[in-house]
Amino acid sequence: MSQALPVTYVTVMDVRRITPRTARVTFTGDGLPDIMAERPDQQMKLCLPRAGQRVPVLPRQDADDTYGMRWYEAYLAIPEDERPWMRGFTVRSYDRARNAMAVDFVLHGDDGPAARWGSAARPGDVLGMVGPSAAYARPLPASDWLLLAGDETALPAMATLLEALPDGTRALAYVEVADAAEEQDLAPAAGSEVRWVHRDRGGSLLRAVRAARLPGDGAGAAWLAGEAGAVRELRRHLVEERQLPKEAVEFSGYWRRRLTQDDAPTEEDLAWARERAGGSGA
């Protein structure tokens, strides 16, 4: 029988600034051991309290609500000034022995709720968490070599994927960050390579990938994530110019320039969602 989409509360254990613009927040919670899996790229939502709330207000969970649709309807029914902000994150790591889950917060400096909360987080703070769920897991396409590309918002997912690859995998990762101070120490599998792209030096992810010599012969695949517009351009380049099959390119738009996750999807967003689901679209 399918399990309901997990909804739980997590409490801050520790906060550490790992780069000038990235805070690594470690959480614990009674529900974590039952829902954390041994796989990379575990996506979930964190629910951030509104002003004046110590703990975010969340609806009760329905055990038969496998995909969380009824829960989400109840969430939307909460008055807007009480409804927690909900933002998507990737689990950076989970230490089962300590029951400790690390999550990286990118501190954009744009006064958004996630960056604002991450900048002020302290041990004892409480957030709600929705997921992660195996029902939404998207495995990497089968391939002889792999390209990964994303910005700093995609870095936690990319890091877990690189660390989980078998040694000897031919993989090349491009990561766009603000400057050299935002580079992180990663532990990719043997055979993988990470190249950093610095915006302060005029670098861009699209230009870097366009100029890239890809890992080799055989069937290739790609994993792309980050700002939605940049990811769309990267995907078009790989499918139309590099001739990768559409099904070999896994892609996600984590954020939209000039828009937040609270804004309604644009027509382009909807077309993109249909394409990810396997329908028609550019």
pLDDT of residue 278: 55
- In this predicted structure, the answer to whether residue 110 has a pLDDT above a threshold of 70 is no
For residue 260, the tally of other CB atoms under 10 A from its CB is: 13
In sequence order, what are the residues at sequence separation of 6 or more whose Cβ sits closer than 8 angstroms to the Cβ of residue 268? 232
Same domain for 143 and 242? Answer: yes
Cα–Cα dist 192/187, whole Å: 10
Which residue segment(s) compose the domain that 42 sits in? Answer: 7-135
In sequence order, what are the residues at sequence separation of 6 or more whose Cβ sits closer than 8 angstroms to the Cβ of residue 36? 42, 91, 94, 96, 101, 132
Q: Which amino acid is at 178?
A: A
pLDDT band at 234 (very low <50, low <70, confident <90, very high): very high
CATH number, domain of 151, equals 3.40.50.80
pLDDT band at 108 (very low <50, low <70, confident <90, very high): confident
User: What does DSSP assign to residue 82?
Assistant: T
CB 14 within 8 A of CB 26: yes
Same domain for 110 and 144? Answer: no
Q: What is the domain count for the chain?
A: 2
Residue 1 in any domain: the answer is no
3-state helix, strand, coil in the chain (%, to 5): 25, 30, 40
Same domain for 125 and 252? Answer: no
- In this predicted structure, the answer to whether residue 265 has a pLDDT above a threshold of 80 is no
CB 212 within 8 A of CB 197: no
pLDDT of residue 242: 95
pLDDT of residue 122: 97
For β-strands 100-106 and 126-130, DSSP reports them as: unpaired
pLDDT in tens, 192-205: 999 999 999 999 99
Same domain for 126 and 64? Answer: yes
pLDDT band at 62 (very low <50, low <70, confident <90, very high): confident
Same domain for 83 and 54? Answer: yes
CATH number, domain of 118, equals 2.40.30.10
Residue 221 tokens, joined: 């695949």
Same domain for 169 and 74? Answer: no
pLDDT in tens, 69-87: 889 999 999 999 999 999 9
Question: Considering 106, 135, 164, which residue would you say is the last residue of a domain?
Answer: 135
